[in-house]
């Protein structure tokens, strides 16, 4: 029985070279995609929200420049864009009376329609706190108010925590982002770079869940 002929070295080298080229092409395509995504992300930091259609309620996520976020959320509430407003992630040391002037709503509206949540300390916490509020009021459509650079990640977290709920973004532009050429501000540019990295991490997590299946949620508290 004759021995099996050895595969030519040139053929083996050709396969290795092909795989190497494909890997390099994949890296280049990924780098281009990440770069183009970052340019889009930068634009979102300076793109204010358009007047949204009315929803059942509004949620404002605290953090960053809180005063502009709350002023915009209060304006939406006053214009009847939602029947109630949750301010998620309020500092425990901040009394409710300090929120009213930032919202710019009248006393009656503040008393009847504004709730403050103090459990959240980050965006994941905002999503969890909002989920409890949504379930309590049986909401299906909520307007989200936060800074433009924060909106993409906030929407991912909110949608992950609240499947089946419609979220309408209302991004706010504040701080250095109101100026042209804001990317020349080291602090502002660094903030967007860090936020983009966090967004990509959450996007990768959600994509893996879509492919592999989402873990079972923890049991709801009896409280």
**Per-residue pLDDT tens listing for the chain (223 residues):** 555 555 555 555 666 766 666 666 565 665 666 666 777 888 888 888 999 999 999 999 987 668 899 999 999 999 999 999 999 999 988 999 999 999 999 999 999 999 999 999 999 999 999 999 999 999 999 999 999 999 999 999 999 999 999 999 999 998 888 888 888 889 999 999 999 999 999 999 998 887 877 776 656 544 3
Core vs surface per residue 178-205: b (16+ CB within 10 A) or e: eeeebbeeeebeebbeebbeebbebeee
Half-sphere exposure of 25 (CA within 13 A, CB side): 6
Reading phi first (left if > 0) and then psi (alpha if -120 to 50, else beta), residue 183 is in alpha
Rounded CA gap, 155 and 157, in Å?
5
pLDDT at 78: 96
């Amino acid at each position: 029985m004759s021995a099996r002929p050895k595969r030519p070295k040139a053929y083996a080298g050709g396969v290795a070279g092909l795989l190497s080229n494909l890997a390099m092409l994949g890296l280049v395509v990924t780098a281009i995609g990440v770069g183009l995504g970052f340019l889009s992300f930068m634009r979102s930091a300076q793109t204010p929200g358009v007047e949204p259609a009315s929803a059942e309620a509004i949620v404002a996520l605290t953090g960053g420049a809180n005063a502009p976020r709350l002023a915009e959320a209060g304006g939406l509430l006053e214009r009847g864009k939602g029947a109630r407003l949750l301010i998620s992630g309020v500092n425990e040391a901040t009394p409710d009376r300090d929120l009213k002037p930032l919202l710019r709503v009248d006393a009656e509206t503040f008393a009847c329609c504004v709730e403050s949540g103090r459990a959240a300390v980050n965006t994941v916490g905002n999503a969890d706190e909002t989920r409890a509020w949504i379930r309590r009021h049986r909401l299906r459509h909520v307007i989200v108010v936060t800074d433009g650079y924060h909106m993409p990640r906030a929407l991912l977290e909110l949608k992950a925590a609240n499947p089946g709920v419609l979220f309408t973004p209302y991004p706010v532009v504040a701080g250095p982002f109101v100026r042209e050429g804001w990317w020349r501000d080291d602090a502002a540019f660094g903030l967007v770079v860090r936020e983009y990295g966090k967004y990509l991490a959450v996007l990768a997590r959600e994509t893996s869940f879509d492919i592999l299946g989402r873990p079972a949620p923890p049991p709801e508290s009896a409280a």
